[in-house]
Amino acid sequence: MIIMAVPPNMDGASVRLSRSGGVWDEMKRTIAWSIKSLQPGEALEIQAQFSSMDGQRSASFPVLVRTEYPRLFSAVEVVNEYRDDVTPAIRLETACAGRLLHRKV
């Protein structure tokens, strides 16, 4: 399960997704994808584009990845390719071996 929180200044109803299956929850302001499985070495890419409701382009989109499978992730990469004269592109890449833990709510 991948859950992305959408900030209040973004129009969640205007979202364009590169991968089908994303579900917009207006009350929680989240988009959730249920990914049944990934094979070893398989990559998953999801892109989301939003319209800003207040004209600001800066926003934070927290992402939660939940899994019940006790395997190791070899890499997690988040890329922001938006560019303008003020905001540089942000690229976060993490590659490590470790367990992804989650708590049941």
User: Looking at the domain assignment, is residue 13 inside a domain?
Assistant: yes
Residue 28 within a domain: yes
Residue whose entry in the numeric block shows the structure tokens 């938006």: 82
- Does residue 83 belong to any structural domain of this protein? yes
pLDDT at site 73: 58
Alpha-carbon gap, residue 86 to 4, rounded angstroms? 25
Query: Quick check: is 104 in a domain?
Result: no
CB proximity list for 78: less than 8 A, separation 6 or greater: 63, 91, 92, 93
Other residues' Cβ atoms within 10 Å of the Cβ of residue 94: 10
Predicted confidence at residue 97, as pLDDT, reads 42
Does the residue 105 lie in any domain? Answer: no
Q: What are the Cα distances from residue 22, in Å, to 7, 18, 47, 92?
A: 17, 9, 10, 23
Residue pLDDT tens, the chain, 105 long = 888 888 888 888 888 887 778 888 989 999 898 888 777 777 778 888 888 777 766 677 778 777 665 555 555 666 666 666 665 555 555 444 444 444 544
Residue 36: inside a domain, yes or no?
Answer: yes
Q: Which amino acid is at 35?
A: I
Q: Which domain holds residue 22?
A: 2-99
Ramachandran angles phi, psi of 58, nearest 5°: -90, 130
Number of domains present in the structure of the chain? 1
Report yes or no on 30 lying in a domain.
yes
pTM, two decimals, is 0.60
